[in-house]
Amino acid sequence: MVAATMVYPAISIVTQEAEDWQAAFREWLDANGLRPLTVAAYLQDVRHFARYFAGVNGEAFRPSLLNSMDVRAWWRAQEDAKNAASTRNRRLASLRALVRWANEAGRLEGDPTEGIRRAAKRQGPPRSHEDVWGRLAETAAATVHVKKQTEKHRWLGLRDKVIFGLMARAGLRIGEVAGLDVDDVDLEALELRVLGKGGVEGKVLLPHSLADDLRAWLAVHPGGEALIVNWQGRRLSTAQIRRRVKMVGEAAGVPLRPHDLRHTYIYRLLDAFLQGGMAMPVALDAVRQQARHGDVRTTQAYLRARYSQVREAVERI
């Protein structure tokens, strides 16, 4: 979000409404030190509102026409369209930046967004809904998020499938995925060497299905020590990996963060142990080892009861 201490730069202000307000708004964002990608995102969001305004009112949007009635209607329309809470909140932040600029530039008085509360984000990772988890897994396996089928895009699909699998089927943290080297993979032993929190090295067991995905990825790997790389062989950053995971979630219609996958993995792993007849204390310790937690209490913090489980138990009494 744009900082509240923003100061409108000393630029020539043309009072005529015909002036290109987008160019003036961009200059204000630039003057406050925002990065080009961030500026582009703000402009994209305010254009979203401008298109809505024009469609409803039949006239082109101008900042001087901002009013609380249209803003609230736009906010409700996004909820009706089931836009993700994160998307709605980002757009609201962008519109509020436009309001601050318009007030400082003398194009608007007051704040039409006042009183609008940020959308509540969903609580808990996707583990709480098996159908959601299934949709995510199917999307990642089919690489649906990769829009084209060129050789390069198929290559990206193989890599992203491994990224998703390392988090969802081995429980790795995003930083651990980014830090993996090719030499950390032992496909014969079905193990990964992982440098975890605090620089502690640990072993993670791999399921055969993930080992198969890794084998396919290594067959087309461009070379170098890093396991997860771009087309040029350079290691992906955590920000780049986060974006790829988000793309899988968007393709499945599920708001998704990388750590959601680790949460889901830990929950499902415990369930697998219990379904196999393992006693709870032993199952918890087994999950702790695979999750590489130093204390079982950390593992337990991941294992909150699902609402559906509580509801089912309440009805059985």
Rounded to whole angstroms, the Cα distance separating 118 from 89 reads 6
From 259, 268, 304, 306, active-site residue:
259
Secondary structure element (H or E) that encloses residue 205, with its range:
strand 201-205
* Helices within the chain (DSSP H only): 21-31, 36-57, 68-80, 85-104, 130-142, 151-168, 174-179, 208-220, 238-252, 258-275, 280-291, 296-301, 307-316
- Take residue 12 and report the two structure tokens written for it: 């020539």
- Catalytic residue (choose from 159, 221, 262, 288): 262
Catalytic residue among 145, 221, 244, 293: 293
Q: State which H helix or E strand residue 145 sits in.
A: none
Q: Residues 121, 148, 197, 234: which is the catalytic one?
A: 197
Q: Which two tokens stand for residue 49?
A: 């509102």
197 is catalytic: yes
Of 96, 107, 173, 288, which one is the catalytic site residue? Answer: 173
Residue 293 annotated in active site: yes
What values do phi and psi take at 97, rounded to 5?
Answer: -65, -40
302 is annotated as an active-site residue: yes
Which strands make up the sheet holding 185-186, listed edge to edge?
185-186, 191-195, 201-205
Active site residues: 173, 197, 259, 262, 293, 302
